[in-house]
Structure 1
Amino acid sequence: MTKQLQATVVTHGGAGGSRDQDDGCVFAARAGLDRLAGGGGALDAAVAAVVALEDDGRYNAGSGSVLCLDGHTVEMDAAVMDSQGALGAVACLQRAKNPVLVAQAVARTPHWLLAGEGAERFARTAGFAIHHEISERQRAKHARLMATLGGQEPATPGIANRAFKDYWNYDTPPAFTPCDTVGAVVRDGAGNFAVACSTGGSAPSLLGRVGDTPIIGSGFYAGADGAVAITGIGEHIVRHLLAYTVYGWIAGGMAIGEAVRRGVGLLPQEIDVGIIAVDRTGAAMHSNREMPCAEERA
């Protein structure tokens, strides 16, 4: 018989965010625990937590997703995975309120990842309504980004602002002269693990850009020994298969706190990165930037 463990939900609101937003992460973690208490499994709890973060509006996911460079398009990625075989993801999904719910629906199909127009058509088929609402907060953030891209200071570390104009691939002409993620990891009382992640994309980015969030082993991983979620600049995270690398250390017996610290240390200090993880013994979170986060136990 499986030993009963203490149910745990850990959430984050993105590396580089403000700890003033910890309250949203606490609310999300408690939403996950409530789902467990209501009879849901680890994956249900992880998804419930991420839905709460998507609906908050302060994080770069769901209702708070950043605008693409054209000032209108929103492209979102999300993924789910658990230790019992569930796996689903969406990339470059448009016009959906909760991408993590669409990713969970993908996990019930013959595929694990749907992207772009196909992902949006699937969302409609699965019963998710068209949703495209842009808040004043999103518009203001976009205006600040465009001002930055028009200046000399790089908006993205190591990339010249000019590159976004040189490779512009939107329908509208460029208007300048120029990452965040949310996630949850869960351990339920039966010792099952799950992870769910969602992002509103990177700013700035070309149309169709996909980061680490929907890529298994890079932005997320869950298995028999734990669950890991990553936040930060995806172009750097994928090069380290960071989620699977950290999971491998945990599975090999490394203390979970050491594993997440070591994972963050793989990337240069100038690159935003944060990690949350849970295993059979505990939970840990670490980032090289401020990162809103929370841990709640039943």
Structure 2
Amino acid sequence: MKYTRPVILIHGGAGDWTSRDSDTALRELSNALDRGFEQLTKGSSLEAVVEAVAYMEDSGAFDAGRGSVLNAKGEVEMDAGVMSGKDLRVGAVAAVKARNPVKEALKVLRDGRHVLMVGGGREEMINQTEVSGDTVGAVALDMEGSLAAATSTGGIRGKLPGRVGDSPIPGAGYYATTNVAVSSTGIGELILRVLPAKEVDMLVSMGFPLESSLEAVLGKMTSLFGEGIVGMIGLDKQGNGHAVFNTKGMARGVMSKDVKKVAVFQGDRI
């Protein structure tokens, strides 16, 4: 669907939403959209995606920030990444302990010396024993026509210490160029093998529509690894936005000056 810019799309993870608290997720998605869109109306797409993701990290309703799951040692290790499409600047952190990993990733981007920093930070978050969702992410298009993407996660429950998934890796968990912005969610070990966010960018850059590009990459992932593994949101420079997933649901939402919508299961298109 095409939206009038500025526009922001967000997600709270793809997975088995039949057994999760979808009502809480929808409420927190709506709040995150408000935060992100407010920032988008007065700032850049990069600032907007960070604001929306930071809200979801703080909410405790998703596997990110305060809601992050514990690793095999009973500790929290989180990953996040952000990317500015207009200049291909990237910042990412992995296996960190911080209240808002996405803001730590933004610091790396703005510092400019490196792309990915590993470890560090303080355990300031409060772990939730039950989370509703999964990885969180956002993509946005601002009034200047600039795209940005951000993704943040607490990873997989019971993971080995030091495990890093797709979320901080550009091209895998997120990607943004002058043509498109994408955020992924799902099984990181599989996403890392295909780099679906980059594959969507390649197709869109070749002239294929955003929706068919996302559907094609989803189809490739499904044919390789089966159902129940991945979801993506995408936004192109014309304001076309779309979400795809092969799981039982994906918490997701969109907001522009003309529309605000949140959804979890199939049926509602964004």
Q: Same fold (TM over 0.5)?
A: yes
Q: Equivalent residue for 1:287?
A: 245
CA root-mean-square deviation: 1.8
SS of residue paired to 2:110: coil
How far apart, CA to CA, are the structure 1 residues paired with 2:126 and 2:28?
Answer: 21
Bigger-Rg structure (1/2): 1
Q: Does 1:101 align with 2:58?
A: no
Paired with 1:59 and 1:250, the residues of 2 have a C-alpha distance of 30
Kindly provide the amino acid, as one letter, of the partner of residue 9 in structure 1: I
Unaligned runs of 5+ in 2: 258-270
The one-letter code matched in structure 1 to 2:103 is L
The aligned amino acid for 1:48 is E
TM-score by length of 2: 0.85
Q: What SS is found at the alignment partner of 1:78? A: strand
1:65–1:201 Cα contact (<8 Å) kept: yes
| Cα distance in 2, alignment partners of residues 228 and 51 from structure 1 | 17
Instruction: Give the superposition deviation at 1:283.
Output: 0.4
Counterparts in 2 of 1:1-298, with a 5 A limit?
6-16=5-15, 18=17, 19-20=22-23, 21-37=25-41, 39-71=42-74, 73-85=75-87, 86-94=89-97, 96-109=98-111, 110-117=113-120, 120=121, 130-137=123-130, 180-267=134-221, 268-281=225-238, 282-289=240-247, 290-298=249-257
CA deviations on 1:39-80 (whole Å, 9 max, x unpaired) are: 211100010010111111111000100011222x00000000
42-51 or 19-28, which deviates more = 19-28
Secondary structure (helix, strand or coil) at the match of 1:131 reads coil
Conserved in 2, the CA contact under 8 Å of 1:17 and 1:292? no
Counterpart contact for 2:8–2:141, Cα < 8 Å:
yes
1:171 paired residue number: none
Letter in 1 for 2:182: V
Whether the aligned pair in 1 keeps the contact of 2:69 and 2:129 (CA below 8 Å) is: no
Shift of 1:6: 1.5
Q: Which amino acid aligns with 1:216?
A: P
Shift of 1:203: 2.1
- How far is 1:22 from its partner? 2.5
> Is there any run of 5+ residues in structure 1 with no aligned partner, and where?
121-128, 142-178
SS of residue in 1 equivalent to 2:235:
strand
| Cα distance, 1:222 vs structure 2 | 0.3
